[in-house]
Structure 1
Amino acid sequence: MTDATPTINDAIRAFRAGDLAAAERACRAILAADARDGGALHVLALIAASAGHAADAMDLLDRAAEAAPTDPSVFNSRGSLYYQMERYGEAEAAFRRVLALREDLPEAHGNLGNALKAQGRAAEAEACYRRALELRPDAPEMHNFLGGALRDLGRLEEAEGSFRAALERAPDYPDARYGLAEVLATLGRPEAAAEAFRAVIDAVPAFIQARVGLAHALHSLDRADEAIAAIDEARALAPDHPLVAFTRRLIHSNAVPGWHLPMINDTERNDAYRRAVERAVGPDSLVLEIGTGSGIVAMMAARAGARRVVTCEVNPVLARVAAETVARNGYADRITVVPKLSTRLEMGTDLPEKADVFVSELINIGMLAPRMLSVLQHARTHLVKPGGAIIPRASTVYAMLVDAPELARINPVGTIDGFDMSAMDVFRSPGYAQIDLGADVHTPLSDPFTALEFDFTRNMPEEGRRQIAVPVTAAGTCHGVAFWFDLFMDEEVVYHSASRARTNHWKQAIAFFDPPLAVQPGDTVRVVARYDANQITFDRAE
C-alpha cells in the first residue's frame, strides 16, 4: 500500500491475504473521507466477524446495508453471519433479499437452501439447490448440499446419486464422501459404507465423524473386534469427543442386549401398543412393523384382524426366534418376519404394497435411538400409504433437575474400594444412565419442564436444541437432569414412561452434569436440551 488514499480494492486484497490490520487501516481511511462508504463498512464487518465479534459485525453490516441497499454481497454476508449465529429465520430473510437483487447468483440459492434446511424445510431447500445447479451445473458443493436435503427427505437413493455427482466433480471432497457413506450405512450397505468411511479417513485422518461411522458400519457387520479397534483409533485422536464416547459405549453395551425380556413383560407398553393397533387395524389392513424384537406387536396386529403383517428385524437371531414365536401362536400364515433393515425392504417382494398401518418400536430409555428419525422418514416416504396410520405419532420429552448422589457416584465409574475401576466405564450405557424415579434415591430440585417435542408423522431436522431457564425449587447438589417421555400412539392412546410401575422396563433416564452444581431455591439453571441423529443430551448453558 502506498501513501496515496487507499481504495476499497486495497482493503479487500489485504483482507483476503489475511492482513486484517492493513485491511482495517484502509477501511478507516476510506471512512474518514466518507463515513457512509458501504464497501468499507462491509469489509470492517467481515474483519469483526472473523475476530468473533458478531454483534459489532452485525452493526457494521446494518450500516453497510443502509449505505449500499442494492449491493447483494452485503446481504449475503449478513445472512452468513445470521446462519453462524444459528438465527436461521433471519438468515433466510437476508438471502432472499440477495436474490431479490440478483436472482442469478448460485451461491445465494445455496445459502438460502442451507438456511431452510436448518429450519427443517428440506423440500424447499431441495428446490434452492436445484436452482443453483441450473445456474452452475458443475458446482460440487451444490450437489453435496442437494444430497443432504434428499437424505433428510428420506430419498436415500437420490441422495446417493447427488453425493456421487459431487465426487465426480471433486473426487477429494471429504464432506461429499462422508455424506455418501452415511447414506450407504442408512440404506443397509455396511460394506460399501465402511469403504467410503475409510476413504474419508485416508483423506482427512482427523475426521472424527467418519471414524465413528466406520465403527458403526463394522459393528453392523458383526465385526466387533474391528469396530472396537476403529472406535479406539478415534478415541486416541479425540479422547474427549462426546460422539466417540457414545459410540464406544454403544458398541460394548450392545454386545449383550439384555433388555428384550423386560420389554415384552412391560404391561403398560404392551397395553398402549395393543390399544393403538386395535384402533388402527381393519380387516383389509396391511401392517408394516419396524423392529420385530420378540414379534409380540406384530401378533397383536394379526389378532386385531389385519389382513397381512410384515415385520422386519435386522438382528438375525431375533428374527429367527420371532418367526418361531409367530408360528407357535398360529399366525405364520399372516405374519412375515423379514430379517432386514427397513431401508432395504423391496416393494413387491418383501412388502406387497405400501402399508396402511405403520408401527415402529425403535425407542430406548432416552427416547431417541441412533438414526431413528431418518429411518422413520424413509419408511414414511417409501413404505407407507399417504394418510396411513403411524404408531406412535409423536413424543414429548420432560425433564427436571435432580440431586442423585448414589447414581452420580458410579457415573462415570471411578475408584471403588481403593481400586481404579475406570476401565469398566466402557460398559456403562452411552450418553445417559437409567434412573428409576420410583425407587432410586433422588431429590427433585425443580418442577418438571417440557424439554423437546417430536412429531413422527413429518420430517424433522436431524439436529435440534432448546435453551431453557429452569427455576430451582429446593436446595441440593444438582447432579444433572432426569428425563422421561410421553409416546402419543394416536389421538387418544398415550404411553407415559414416567410410570413408577415395576414392569416399566424403560424407567427414566438421567444425564449428568460435569461438574455438579450446588443450588438454592430461587436460583436459575440454564439448561440446553439437544438431540442429534443418535441421542438426546442435556448440558448446562455456558
Structure 2
Amino acid sequence: MTDTPTPTVIDAAQRFRSNDLAGAEEACRAILATDPHNAGALHLLGLVAAYTDQPDTALDLFAEAIAENGNDPSFHNSRGSLLFQQDRPAEAEEAFRAGLAINPRLPELHGNLGNALKAQGRLDEAADCFRTALDLRPNAPEMHHFLAATLRDLGEPDEAERHFRSALEQVPDYLDVHYSLAELLSTRGRLEEAEAEFRIVLAAASRFIPAQVGLAHALQGLGRAADAIDAIEAAHGQAPDHPMVRATRRLIYSNAVPGRHLPMINDVERHEAYRRSLERAVTPESLVLEIGTGSGIVAMMAARAGAKTVVTCEANPILARVAKETVARNGYADRIDVVPRPSTQLTVGEGRDLPEKADVFVSELVDTGMLTPRMLSVLRHARTHLVKPGGVIIPRASTIHAMLVETPELARINPVQCIDGFDMESFDVFRSPGCQRIDLGADAHTPLSKPFTALDFDFTRNMPEEGRRVIDVTVTTAGTCHGVAFWFDLVMDDAVVYKSESRARTNPWKQAMIFLEKPITLLAGDRLRVVARYDSNQISFGIDG
C-alpha cells in the first residue's frame, strides 16, 4: 500500500484560494507534522484562522511564521491587516513598516500603511503612502479611492474629486467610489450631480441605506421636498429603525417650515456674544465672511463694527432674498453682499464672490444639539478655501456639557406613542431628529448627576468626522434616568463665550435631551459609563453596558 504523499505549501495555497478552508487547514497541519518550522504553512494556517474568526490564534501563527522567516513581507502584511481589522492601527502600522523594510516596492503594503495612519488621524502621512502606492501601480482604483477619501478629509475637494473620477475611469461600476463621490458633491453643493451619483449606487444596491439617506438630503437641498420625502420614505419602508433613516426622516419633515429664525433674532445673549466678538475682531480694512446669514443680523453687526466689506451666503433662496431686503432697509447694501448659494460654491478672486480670502470668518450653523448635518465639513471647506491663514474664526471652539436627568413628563412623548388612549405614533415623525429640546429653566426635571464635560470641538482645525468619549459618571440623586440632557458653550474668542445653558426665555436653543430607549433606575453613588458620540450629523449619548 502506497503512503499518501505529504502535501506542499503550494497545494495548501491552492485550496485556500479556492475557498476550501478545511482542506487548506488539513494540508498545513500535514506539512507541519513533518516540518514544524515551515513558515509558509504557519502563515497559511494563520490565514485560515483569520477567515474562520479566530483572530488571536491567527496572530500567534503569523508571529510564529515571522519568527521562522522574517524576510517574507507577506507575513508582516497579513499580521498588520488583522491588527487593523481589530482596531489596533498603531500595531498594524508597525507590522506594515516591517514588511516595507524588506521590500519597499509593494503597493499593497503602502496602501495598508496609509489606512493605518489615517485611522490614527495622520492624514498627510496617509496621503503620501497612497501616492507612493499609485507611483508603483498607477492603475490601482482602490488606491485612488483611498487617496481621494483622505484628500477630502484634508479639505482638498478638487484633488479628491479628481482621484474619485480616476478610480471610476478604471472601474466604472465601483459603487463605493460612486457613493463617496456623491457625498463629496453633496457637501460641495453640487446637488444635481450628487443626485445622479446616489441613483447610480441605488440602481445596483437599492437597499444601501446611506445612499438612500444621501439622496434624500440632496433632493431636499434642491428644494424638491416631495421627492425628498419619497426618497426617505423608501428607506423608512426598508429600515424603519435605522438611526440614520429615523434622524433624516425627522429632519426633512421638521424642516418643511424653518421656524427657528424668529426666536433666533430675539436672542439677546446670542446677539451680545456675536456683537462683542465682532467688535474685537473687525478693523476698517476687514473682509468678513459669514456662512448662513438667516435674517442677516450678524452680517449687519459686522458692518456696524466697521468692516470694509461683508460677504454672507445663504443656501435657502427665500431666506437669502429676505436677508438682502433687510440689509438694504438698514442702509448696509453698499457693504454687505448676500450670496444665495452654499458656502462650498463660493469663489475667490477679482470679480468673484469674495475678492480675496476673508480676514474674519463668522458662522452660526449650530442648533439645539450643537452639531448640524455636515457642519464640520462645511467649516473645514471654509477654513481651507475661503479664509486667510491665521484669519479670525468666530466661534472658534465649543464644549459640550451634560448630566443625567429624570423627566417623566417629557419622557411620555419622546417618542410620541399612546396619548389619551389613541395610537399617535405616526405623529412622531414631526419631532426633531436625534436630540429633543428641553428647557431646564421651565420643564420639570430632576438632575441625577452633576454636570460633566462630554465633548470638545475646535473649529480652527480639521477634526475627524466622527468620535466618541466614555465618561464615568457618579449618580448624586436616586431616581429614574430617562436620558442625558446636554448643552454647549460657544467660545467666540479669548474673552467672549456664549452659553446655551442660559435659562433666559429669549434663548432659542434651550438645551438638548437624548432619551434612553429604556429608563434606568439608579441609586445615589451608582456609577454609569456614559458614551458621548458625534458624527457628521449629530451628537448622541448612550450607556455602556
Within a 5 Å distance, the mapping from 1:256-405 to structure 2 comes to: 256-348=257-349, 349-405=352-408
* Matched residue, 1:425: 428
Hey, what's the Cα distance between the residues in 2 that align with 1:100 and 1:452?
A: 39
* Matched residue, 2:18: 17
* Matched residue, 1:71: 72
Q: 2:465 aligns with which of 456, 462, 486?
A: 462
Contact 1:194 1:214 in 2 (8 A): yes
Change (3 A) 1:279 1:36: farther
Change (3 A) 1:57 1:404: farther
The Cα of 1:105 is off from its aligned counterpart by 1.3
- Name the SS of the counterpart of 1:318 in structure 2: helix
| 1:220 counterpart = 2:221 | yes
The Cα of 1:265 is off from its aligned counterpart by 1.4
* Matched residue, 2:486: 483
Within a 5 Å distance, the mapping from 1:122-133 to structure 2 comes to: 122-133=123-134
Hey, what's the Cα distance between the residues in 2 that align with 1:371 and 1:144?
A: 21
| 1:407 counterpart = 2:410 | yes
- CA distances 1:521-540 after superposition (whole Å, capped 9, x unpaired): 34332332221111112223
The Cα of 1:392 is off from its aligned counterpart by 1.1
The Cα of 1:166 is off from its aligned counterpart by 0.6
| 1:159 counterpart = 2:160 | yes
* Matched residue, 1:526: 529
Change (3 A) 1:495 1:144: same
Report how many aligned residue pairs link the two structures: 541
Hey, what's the Cα distance between the residues in 1 that align with 2:146 and 2:275?
A: 42
Change (3 A) 1:91 1:488: farther
- CA distances 1:197-217 after superposition (whole Å, capped 9, x unpaired): 101111222221111111111
Change (3 A) 1:228 1:8: same
Change (3 A) 1:490 1:51: farther
Hey, what's the Cα distance between the residues in 2 that align with 1:99 and 1:499?
A: 56
- CA distances 1:252-284 after superposition (whole Å, capped 9, x unpaired): 000011111111211222111111111111111
Within a 5 Å distance, the mapping from 1:219-238 to structure 2 comes to: 219-238=220-239
Hey, what's the Cα distance between the residues in 1 that align with 2:53 and 2:479?
A: 37
- CA distances 1:109-163 after superposition (whole Å, capped 9, x unpaired): 1122222222333222221111111111111111111111121122222222111
Change (3 A) 1:262 1:109: same
What amino acid is the match of 1:489? M
Change (3 A) 1:57 1:408: farther
- Name the SS of the counterpart of 2:276 in structure 1: helix
Hey, what's the Cα distance between the residues in 2 that align with 1:50 and 1:531?
A: 32
- CA distances 1:163-202 after superposition (whole Å, capped 9, x unpaired): 1111000001001111111111112111111111101111
Hey, what's the Cα distance between the residues in 1 that align with 2:50 and 2:522?
A: 36
* Matched residue, 2:46: 45
Aligned-pair Cα RMSD in Å: 1.9
- CA distances 1:237-259 after superposition (whole Å, capped 9, x unpaired): 22221111111111000001111
- CA distances 1:37-96 after superposition (whole Å, capped 9, x unpaired): 443443343333334444444344344443333332232223222322323333333322
What amino acid is the match of 1:103? P
The Cα of 1:35 is off from its aligned counterpart by 4.6
Same amino acid, percent of matched pairs: 67
* Matched residue, 1:94: 95
Q: 2:510 aligns with which of 507, 512, 515?
A: 507
The Cα of 1:320 is off from its aligned counterpart by 1.2
Hey, what's the Cα distance between the residues in 1 that align with 2:273 and 2:331?
A: 23
* Matched residue, 2:443: 440
Hey, what's the Cα distance between the residues in 1 that align with 2:237 and 2:79?
A: 39
Structure 2 length as normaliser, TM-score? 0.95
Change (3 A) 1:81 1:169: same
Moved more, 440-449 or 254-263: 440-449
Hey, what's the Cα distance between the residues in 2 that align with 1:99 and 1:492?
A: 50
What amino acid is the match of 1:18? N
Change (3 A) 1:478 1:21: farther
- Name the SS of the counterpart of 1:370 in structure 2: coil
Give the gaps of 5 or more residues in structure 2. Answer: none
Change (3 A) 1:412 1:104: same
The Cα of 1:31 is off from its aligned counterpart by 3.8
Change (3 A) 1:488 1:63: farther
What amino acid is the match of 1:446? S
Change (3 A) 1:408 1:127: same
- Name the SS of the counterpart of 2:193 in structure 1: helix
Structure 1 length as normaliser, TM-score? 0.95
Change (3 A) 1:313 1:8: same
Contact 1:83 1:91 in 2 (8 A): yes
- CA distances 1:409-440 after superposition (whole Å, capped 9, x unpaired): 11111011111110011111111111122222
The Cα of 1:33 is off from its aligned counterpart by 4.0
Contact 1:117 1:461 in 2 (8 A): no
Change (3 A) 1:166 1:302: same
Hey, what's the Cα distance between the residues in 2 that align with 1:489 and 1:193?
A: 34
Moved more, 288-297 or 267-276: 267-276
The Cα of 1:468 is off from its aligned counterpart by 3.0
